[in-house]
Structure 1
Amino acid sequence: MPWTREQLASSVRDSLRGRKLIIVSNREPYIHRFAGRVISWSKAVSGLVTALDPVARAVNALWIAHGSGDADRVNVDEKGRLSVPPDSAEYWLRRVWLTKEQVDGYYYGYANQAIWPLSHIAYRKPRFLREHWEHYEDVNKLFADAVLEEFGPGDDLVVLQDYHLARAAFHIKANRPNAMVGLFWHIPWPNAEVFRICPQKQELLEGLLANDLLGFHIRYHCHNFLETVEEELEAKVNWEEMSVLYKGHKTLIRPFPISVDFDGIVSLASTSQVQSVVDKLPEIIEPSYEFLLLGVGRLDYTKGLVEKFLAVDRFLERYPEYRGKVVLLQVCALSRIRIPEYKELVDNLHALAEQINWKYRENGWHPIVLAINRFSKAEEYNALYQAANVCLVTSLHDGLNLVAKEFVSSRVDEDGVLVLSRFTGAARELEDALLVNPFDVDGLADAIHVGITMPAEERKRRMVRMRNVVAEKNIYRWAANFISKLLEVADRKKQ
Structure 2
Amino acid sequence: MRLSLRFVLPLFLALGAFAYAAVPLVDRLTLQWFVRDLDIRASLIASTVQEPLQDLIQTGKRTRMLAFFDRITTDERLFAMGYCPSTAGQPVITSTLPSQIRCSDLERFSGFSGHLLESATGPLLVSVRPLEAAGVPVGNLVVVHDMSFIARRSAETRKYLYLFFVGLGATVALITVVIAQLSWRGWVQGLRALLRGEGLLRPSDGRSVGDLPELRPIASDLRSLIRDLEADHRSRDEDQLAWTPDTLRAILRTDLPGHDVMVVSNREPYIHVRRGDIIALWQPASGLVTAMEPIMRACSGTWIAHGGGSADREVVDEHDHVPVPPEQPAYQLRRVWLTPEQEAGYYYGFANEGLWPLCHNAHVRPIFRTSDWEQYATVNRAFAQAVVEEASSPDPIVLVQDYHFALLPRMIQEQLPDATIVSFWHIPWPNPEAFAICPWREELLDGLLGSSILGFHTQFHCNNFVDTVDRLLEARVDREMFTVSYRSKLTAVKRYPISIEWPPSPALLGKPVEPCRLAVRQRHGLPAEQALGVGVDRLDYTKGIEERLRAVERLLEMEPQWVGRFTFIQIAAPTRNRIEQYQEYETRVRAMATRINERFAGAPYPPIVLLVEHHQPQDIYEYYRAADVCMVTSLHDGMNLVAKEFVSARDDERGVLILSQFTGAARELPEAIIVNPYDTDQCAAALHIALAMPAAEQRARIRLMRGLIQEFNVYRWAGRMLIDAAGMRRRVRLLDRAATPERLSRRAAGREASRTK
> What is the Cα deviation at residue 8 of structure 1?
1.4
- Distance in 1, Cα, partners of 2:280 & 2:328: 15
Describe the superposition over 1:427-458 as per-residue Cα deviations: whole angstroms up to 9, x where unpaired: 01001000000011111011001111111111
Describe the superposition over 1:130-168 as per-residue Cα deviations: whole angstroms up to 9, x where unpaired: 000000000000000000011113521111000000001
Contact 1:274/1:380 (8 A) holds in 2: no
Where in structure 2 are the equivalents of 1:210-289 lying within 5 Å?
A: 210-265=450-505, 267-272=506-511, 276-288=515-527
Specify the alignment match of 1:338 in structure 2. Answer: 578
User: Is 1:383 aligned to 2:622, yes or no?
Assistant: yes
Larger radius of gyration: 2
User: Is 1:407 aligned to 2:638, yes or no?
Assistant: no
- Distance in 2, Cα, partners of 1:25 & 1:177: 21
- Distance in 2, Cα, partners of 1:295 & 1:163: 25
> What is the Cα deviation at residue 275 of structure 1?
6.5
Contact 2:514/2:626 (8 A) holds in 1: no
- Greater relative CO, 1 or 2 (CA 8 Å, sep 6+): 1
Structure 2: where are the runs of 5+ without partners?
A: 1-240, 735-757
Matched AA of 1:391? C
The DSSP-based 3-state class of the residue aligned with 2:674 is strand
Specify the alignment match of 2:289 in structure 1. Answer: 49
Specify the alignment match of 2:61 in structure 1. Answer: none
Where in structure 2 are the equivalents of 1:124-163 lying within 5 Å?
A: 124-163=364-403
Equivalent residue in structure 2 for 1:8, among 248, 273, 278: 248
Specify the alignment match of 2:324 in structure 1. Answer: 84
Equivalent residue in structure 1 for 2:698, among 459, 468, 479: 459
- Distance in 1, Cα, partners of 2:256 & 2:415: 22
Equivalent residue in structure 2 for 1:75, among 315, 318, 327: 315
Specify the alignment match of 2:355 in structure 1. Answer: 115
- Distance in 2, Cα, partners of 1:337 & 1:286: 30
- Distance in 2, Cα, partners of 1:363 & 1:173: 62
Describe the superposition over 1:256-308 as per-residue Cα deviations: whole angstroms up to 9, x where unpaired: 0000012024x345414887544311111244462101100111000000100
Equivalent residue in structure 2 for 1:190, among 421, 427, 430: 430
Specify the alignment match of 1:494 in structure 2. Answer: 733
Where in structure 2 are the equivalents of 1:392-431 lying within 5 Å?
A: 392-431=631-670
> What is the Cα deviation at residue 363 of structure 1?
4.8
RMSD over aligned Cα atoms: 1.3
- Distance in 1, Cα, partners of 2:641 & 2:592: 26
Specify the alignment match of 1:25 in structure 2. Answer: 265
User: Is 1:484 aligned to 2:723, yes or no?
Assistant: yes
> What is the Cα deviation at residue 2 of structure 1?
2.5
> Which structure has more helix as a fraction of its residues?
2
Describe the superposition over 1:76-108 as per-residue Cα deviations: whole angstroms up to 9, x where unpaired: 112201100112111101000000000000000
Structure 1: where are the runs of 5+ without partners?
A: none
Equivalent residue in structure 2 for 1:177, among 417, 420, 433: 417
- Distance in 1, Cα, partners of 2:722 & 2:387: 17
Equivalent residue in structure 2 for 1:468, among 697, 704, 707: 707
Could you state the TM-score of these two structures normalised by the residue count of structure 1? Answer: 0.97
Of 79-88 and 410-419, more deviation after overlay is shown by 79-88
Q: How many residues matched?
A: 493
Aligned residues with identical type, % of pairs: 45
- Distance in 1, Cα, partners of 2:522 & 2:393: 58
- Distance in 2, Cα, partners of 1:401 & 1:206: 28
Contact 2:394/2:418 (8 A) holds in 1: no
Contact 2:570/2:608 (8 A) holds in 1: yes
The DSSP-based 3-state class of the residue aligned with 2:467 is helix
- Distance in 1, Cα, partners of 2:579 & 2:482: 37
Describe the superposition over 1:296-353 as per-residue Cα deviations: whole angstroms up to 9, x where unpaired: 0111000000100111111110001110100010001100000001010111011111
Contact 1:245/1:251 (8 A) holds in 2: yes
- Distance in 2, Cα, partners of 1:274 & 1:27: 31
Contact 1:226/1:237 (8 A) holds in 2: yes
The DSSP-based 3-state class of the residue aligned with 1:391 is strand
> What is the Cα deviation at residue 493 of structure 1?
1.2
- Distance in 2, Cα, partners of 1:321 & 1:314: 12
- Distance in 2, Cα, partners of 1:119 & 1:62: 29
Contact 1:273/1:379 (8 A) holds in 2: no
- Distance in 1, Cα, partners of 2:364 & 2:700: 39
Specify the alignment match of 2:121 in structure 1. Answer: none
Describe the superposition over 1:390-448 as per-residue Cα deviations: whole angstroms up to 9, x where unpaired: 10000000000000000000000001000000000000100100000001111101100
The DSSP-based 3-state class of the residue aligned with 2:389 is helix
Could you state the TM-score of these two structures normalised by the residue count of structure 2? Answer: 0.64
> What is the Cα deviation at residue 175 of structure 1?
1.6
Equivalent residue in structure 2 for 1:352, among 568, 582, 592: 592
Describe the superposition over 1:360-407 as per-residue Cα deviations: whole angstroms up to 9, x where unpaired: 11254220110111x512221111111111100000000000000000
> What is the Cα deviation at residue 177 of structure 1?
2.0
> What is the Cα deviation at residue 7 of structure 1?
1.5
The DSSP-based 3-state class of the residue aligned with 1:134 is helix
